Amino acid sequence: MKNKQVALITGVGKQTGIGFETARQLAAMGYQAIITARKQETSEQLADILIKEQLDIVPMALDVTDEKMVQAVAAEVNNRFGKLDVLINNATLFPDQYNTETVDLDDIRKVFESNFIGAWGTVKHFTPLLRKSEHPRIVNISSGSGAFGGEGYSLVNPWRDVISAYSISKAALNAFTLKAAADLKKDNILVNAVTPGLTATHDILADFGGRSVSDGAKSIVFVATLPKGGPTGKFFKDGEIISW
């Protein structure tokens, strides 16, 4: 349907992931959800699960660290849908325990290529499509571990006493959210960051009190569906603006 809102979610790599559940919840609300993974086979397998639930899902291959691939997907979205209403930057490399002195800096570059530069690249290349939407939204999936204060795990209260490159990259993503919000305000594009909280996307996280993926995804969906004229350049958790 041409009047459907179209949402694209990066980093939908597994059925237990928060990107997969976000796609499910948005599609259940009537969105056409484009789920992307590095391999087309992965996105198609996951899409089939949701399509069987009578949801409107489109699978695509996208590696956010490959700018030419980002450009190609943006062109495909433009050709097929003529616009994009919601961009959700969910692709990420998960926490690490790199040591400051012994780390291989190439590993740090990989983290930032995925978690920070990749998100900047999708915003860069999908913004022309977002301008064609009546309700454009960009949602950057961040983490409380990349915030200075707040409850739970943070930069000053790190999970397992480790400040990871992941956490630092999420702090950078929060800062980029402010910049993009300021730059795109003239286009009425709302740009916000969200922490879904400690979410049990892996079994070990459930052992540390991680909540359900469904609950974590609700935070993302809330920001993705903010009303026109809503807040921009903010950091959200569970529908509330928090400090980072």
**CA max distance for the chain:** 54
170 is catalytic: yes
Does pLDDT of 16 surpass 70? yes
Here the tokens at position 229 are 């004229």
- Asked if the model's pLDDT at residue 201 lies above 90, the reply is no
Average pLDDT over residues 63-90: 98
Please, are residues 119 and 89 in contact by the beta-carbon 8 Å criterion? yes
Cβ-Cβ contacts under 8 Å for 220 (sequence gap 6 or more): 18, 22, 88, 90, 139, 141, 194, 196
Predicted confidence at residue 210, as pLDDT, reads 58
Q: What is the mean pLDDT of the chain?
A: 92
pLDDT at 60 over 70: yes
Is 140 within 8 Å of 194 (Cβ atoms)? yes
In which band, very low, low, confident or very high, does the pLDDT at 200 lie, cut at 50, 70 and 90?
very low
Catalytic residue (one of 170, 179, 218, 237): 170
The model's pLDDT over 123-172, given as tens digits with 9 standing for 90+, comes to: 999 999 999 999 999 999 999 889 987 667 889 888 778 899 999 999 99
Kindly name the residue from 31, 98, 166, 237 that is annotated as catalytic: 166
Residue 204 clears pLDDT 60, i.e. is over it: no
Q: Based on the residue annotation, tell me whether 166 is a catalytic residue of this protein.
A: yes
Spatial contact of 176 and 140, defined as CB atoms under 8 Å apart = yes
- Site of tokens 């996951």: 46
Inter-helix orientation angle 18-28/40-51, to 10°: 40
Whether the predicted pLDDT of 121 surpasses 80: yes
Question: What domains are defined for the chain?
Answer: 6-242 (3.40.50.720)
> What value does the mean pLDDT take over residues 15-38?
97
User: For the chain, what percent of residues have pLDDT higher than 90?
Assistant: 80
- The residue among 208 and 190 whose pLDDT is bigger is 190
**CA-based nearest residue to 239, from 228, 226, 229:** 226
